């Protein structure tokens, strides 16, 4: 039986922090101590952290350069005064009246999902994978972190890291859960069990392998999971492709029928939490037709809920059937309640906000026909397209108003491919539920995570994980900077659901140089008019371009696409001719991502358009003086 490594445990003993300390300093994953005589000072180093949204560079001029992330933007300030016992700015978030937030911990690495023990210890799984985080460093400690607030001020004052390390070949993961006196965590292609000792936050022994052989390649390598009271372990195996088409994400590509990928992908698998050395295989598939489950949670009655990342590129890959506006708004993201034998339609179907309809890769006609999708398992609720729901938590406590009871909090990681519409999401929503069904419309619960820009490469934070503590507090994890918020309530028990204010963000600059606002410097052989045309395509104002969603409005790149400002280039020499050649040909086998880039970026570009986009991309690396 293969066992996981304990790695080394690093302890952050944080003394005499102010009760509402805004940030915790120190290198990600490294031990540090704040001098009790100089409260609030911290180590000068800071590990650069980047977004982990595992989206792909398809449908835009991906992989033209190296991915570089812009400096962190400030968080939006809350628009209403916080209760007296809260941080003055609610930790940078906007919340409904009566709610408040503190920054519980910071700089933890790429924090994904959370679990909270009965004694209030918060466990966090973090992740690092070089292809998704180029030019960044992994935590020097273990990928797992145990956080404790020993003085009850809403800020963790003890942080211990343990589990696998990069030095020992680890990469961390997303999934994490507590069951029967043990901590379970995803590590690479396995789920490990760490026995916990009462009174100790971290395990003393190595992790034991519960399930191994989880599939890792392709578009969705993460494996969130849950464990019910009886020990049933349900784990996601996300799709390797967009819609089981070949080649992946290319215009007009047909879907494989039947989709053999579904033997090991695109569904939920069932195992036992009390059994070691289980090996992933097609035989344990529990539910299917699920492109990628961002997170799962149980309500008090034992119903399981899950979220799905919907498909991409309807308008880019099928422009004769879908307009750019339709591509931005289809398909819906969904909340659903899976069960053994359920089939939610992927890859042959997608949910259009009202019903499952036939996908164009399988003969669909732009959403008019249901065909074989008419009998797919119904969903619970639908949400705007491409918002990327990364986790769900059911509120089973009584500390929030009664209207929140048994409802679902959903962490929307944020979009990359809503062009020509603005990118959106980057928030936590709340869906009221009763007896497993919606009892009202969803509301914006927490906003302000993204800071100045709602886009993957420039967002300050992106919600990735949720958990409810034994005291009723809601914990929210961010996987850009590794921030954890703790949200509490101080108000009337019968307060109605009230949406949080929408955070104000800056509009991406769609004219002029993105750094200075000055007219871009045209490359030799081009001119200002050609550059202006390329800029409008880049921002999706013409031809359905999605370039800015992947590469950022400033061209610095994101987890969805490489940076375009040089000086190093993956597919060309950075010249106007080289950039144009890459746009024409696309990238079927990328060097730094698991998904390809369609020829012409998946947009209906003619040769003049290609040259214009190349000219504008060239300007991003040649700033005007």
SS (H, E, C) 45-70: CCCCCCCCCCCCCCCCCCCCCCCCCC
- Residue 440 resides in a domain: yes
Q: At 287, phi and psi to the nearest 5?
A: -145, 150
Last residue of a domain, one of 437, 467, 489: 489
- Residue 496 resides in a domain: no
- Residue 521 resides in a domain: no
Number of domains the chain contains: 2
Q: What is the pLDDT of residue 506?
A: 85
Residue 548's pLDDT band (cuts 50, 70, 90): confident
Q: What is the CATH number for 399?
A: 2.120.10.30
What's the Cα-to-Cα distance from 276 to each of 76, 170, 273, 282, 405, rounded to whole Å? Answer: 46, 20, 8, 18, 35
Q: Does pLDDT of 10 surpass 50?
A: no
**Mean of pLDDT values over 62-87:** 41
Residue 543's pLDDT band (cuts 50, 70, 90): confident
- Residue 625 resides in a domain: no
Q: Looking at the structure, do residues 331 and 407 belong to the same domain, yes or no?
A: yes
CA-based nearest residue to 622, from 558, 542, 555, 548 = 555
**81 bridge partner residues:** none
What mean pLDDT value characterizes the chain?
84
Q: Looking at the structure, do residues 339 and 482 belong to the same domain, yes or no?
A: yes
**Mean of pLDDT values over 184-193:** 97
Q: How far apart are CA 323 and CA 319, in angstroms?
A: 6
- Residue 19 resides in a domain: no
Q: What is the pLDDT of residue 513?
A: 66
- Angle between helices 607-620 and 576-585 in degrees, nearest 10: 130
**Mean of pLDDT values over 420-434:** 94
Best mean pLDDT range from 374-388, 501-515, 562-576, 601-615: 374-388
Q: What is the pLDDT of residue 138?
A: 77
- Residue 409 resides in a domain: yes
Last residue of a domain, one of 460, 489, 518: 489
Local structure of 207: helix, strand or coil: coil
Q: Does pLDDT of 28 surpass 50?
A: no
What's the Cα-to-Cα distance from 267 to each of 124, 236, 353, 371, rounded to whole Å? Answer: 24, 6, 21, 22
342-364 pLDDT, tens digit per residue, is: 999 999 999 999 999 999 999 99
Q: At 613, phi and psi to the nearest 5?
A: -65, -45
E strand or H helix at 391, and its extent?
A: strand 389-394
Residue 553's pLDDT band (cuts 50, 70, 90): confident
Q: What is the pLDDT of residue 85?
A: 57
Residue 545's pLDDT band (cuts 50, 70, 90): confident
Q: Looking at the structure, do residues 247 and 299 belong to the same domain, yes or no?
A: yes
- Residue 522 resides in a domain: no
Best mean pLDDT range from 16-25, 362-371, 413-422: 362-371
Domain that holds residue 422: 101-270+277-489
Q: Helical H runs in 478-606?
A: 528-538, 547-551, 576-585
CA-based nearest residue to 285, from 339, 362, 229, 231 = 339
**Which of 103-107, 569-573, 596-600 has the lowest average pLDDT?**
596-600
Q: Which residues fall within 8 angstroms of residue 346, CB to CB, at 6 or more apart?
A: 239, 243, 266, 289, 290, 291, 308, 311
Q: What is the pLDDT of residue 559?
A: 67
The tokens for 489 are 């309530």
For residues 158 and 181, is the Cβ–Cβ distance under 8 A? no
**Which of 44-53, 120-129, 248-257 has the lowest average pLDDT?**
44-53
Q: Looking at the structure, do residues 448 and 315 belong to the same domain, yes or no?
A: yes
- Residue 162 resides in a domain: yes
Residue 22: count other Cβ atoms within 10 Å of its Cβ. 15
**Which of 101-115, 159-173, 517-531 has the lowest average pLDDT?**
517-531
473-482 pLDDT, tens digit per residue, is: 999 999 999 9
| High-pLDDT (> 70) share of the chain, % | 82
Q: What is the pLDDT of residue 509?
A: 62
């Amino acid at each position: 039986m293969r066992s996981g490594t304990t790695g080394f445990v690093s302890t952050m003993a944080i003394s005499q922090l102010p009760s509402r300390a805004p940030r915790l300093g120190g290198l990600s994953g490294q031990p540090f101590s704040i001098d009790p005589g100089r409260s609030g000072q911290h180590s000068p180093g800071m590990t650069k952290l980047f977004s982990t949204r595992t989206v792909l560079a398809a449908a835009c001029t991906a992989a033209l350069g190296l991915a570089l992330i812009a400096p962190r933007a400030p968080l939006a300030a809350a628009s209403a005064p916080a209760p007296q016992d809260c941080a003055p700015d609610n930790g940078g978030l906007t919340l409904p009246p009566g709610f408040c937030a503190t920054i519980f911990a910071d700089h933890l690495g790429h924090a994904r999902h959370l679990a909270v023990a009965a004694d209030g210890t918060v466990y966090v799984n973090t992740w690092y994978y070089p292809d998704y985080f180029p030019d960044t460093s992994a935590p020097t400690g273990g990928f797992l972190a145990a956080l404790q607030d020993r003085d009850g001020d809403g800020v963790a004052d003890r942080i211990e890291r343990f589990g696998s390390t990069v030095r020992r070949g680890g990469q961390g993961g997303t999934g994490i859960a507590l069951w029967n006196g043990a901590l379970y965590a995803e590590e690479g292609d396995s789920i490990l069990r760490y026995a916990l000792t009462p009174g100790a936050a971290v395990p003393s022994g190595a992790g034991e392998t519960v399930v191994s052989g989880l599939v890792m390649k392709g578009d969705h390598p993460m494996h969130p999971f849950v464990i019910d009271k009886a020990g049933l372990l349900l784990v996601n195996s996300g799709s390797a492709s967009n819609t089981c088409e070949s080649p992946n994400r290319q215009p007009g590509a047909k879907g494989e029928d039947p989709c053999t990928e579904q033997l090991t992908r695109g569904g939920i698998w069932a195992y036992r939490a009390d059994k070691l050395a289980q090996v992933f295989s097609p035989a344990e598939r529990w539910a299917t037709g699920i492109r990628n489950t961002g997170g799962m949670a149980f309500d008090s009655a034992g119903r399981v809920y899950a979220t799905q990342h919907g498909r991409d590129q309807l308008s880019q890959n099928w422009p004769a059937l879908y307009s750019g506006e339709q591509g931005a708004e289809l398909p819906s993201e969904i909340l659903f309640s899976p069960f053994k034998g359920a089939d939610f339609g992927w890859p042959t179907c997608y949910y259009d906000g009202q019903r499952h309809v036939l996908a164009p890769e399988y003969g669909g006609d732009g959403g008019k026909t249901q065909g074989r999708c008419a009998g797919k398992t119904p969903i619970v609720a639908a949400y705007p397209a491409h918002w990327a729901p990364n986790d769900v938590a059911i509120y089973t406590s009584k500390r929030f108003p009664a209207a929140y009871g048994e409802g679902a909090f959903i962490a929307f990681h944020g979009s990359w491919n809503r062009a020509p519409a603005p990118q959106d999401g980057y928030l936590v929503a709340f869906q009221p539920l009763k007896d497993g069904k919606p009892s009202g419309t969803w509301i914006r619960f927490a906003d302000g995570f993204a800071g100045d820009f709602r886009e993957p490469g420039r967002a300050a934070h992106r919600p990735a994980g949720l958990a409810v503590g034994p005291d009723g507090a809601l914990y929210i994890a961010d996987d850009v900077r590794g921030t954890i918020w703790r949200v509490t309530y101080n108000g009337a028990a019968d307060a109605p659901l009230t949406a949080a204010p929408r955070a104000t963000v800056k509009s991406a600059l769609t004219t002029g140089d993105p750094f200075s606002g000055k007219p871009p410097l045209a490359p030799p052989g081009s001119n200002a008019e050609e550059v202006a045309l390329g800029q409008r395509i880049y921002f999706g104002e013409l031809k359905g371009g999605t370039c800015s969603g992947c590469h950022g409005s400033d061209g610095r790149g994101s987890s969805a696409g490489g940076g375009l400002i040089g000086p190093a280039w993956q597919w060309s020499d950075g010249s106007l001719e080289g950039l144009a050649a890459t746009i024409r040909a696309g990238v079927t086998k990328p060097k730094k991502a698991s998904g390809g880039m369609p020829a012409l970026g998946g947009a209906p570009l003619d040769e003049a358009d290609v040259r214009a986009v190349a000219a504008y991309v060239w300007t991003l690396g040649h700033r005007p003086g």
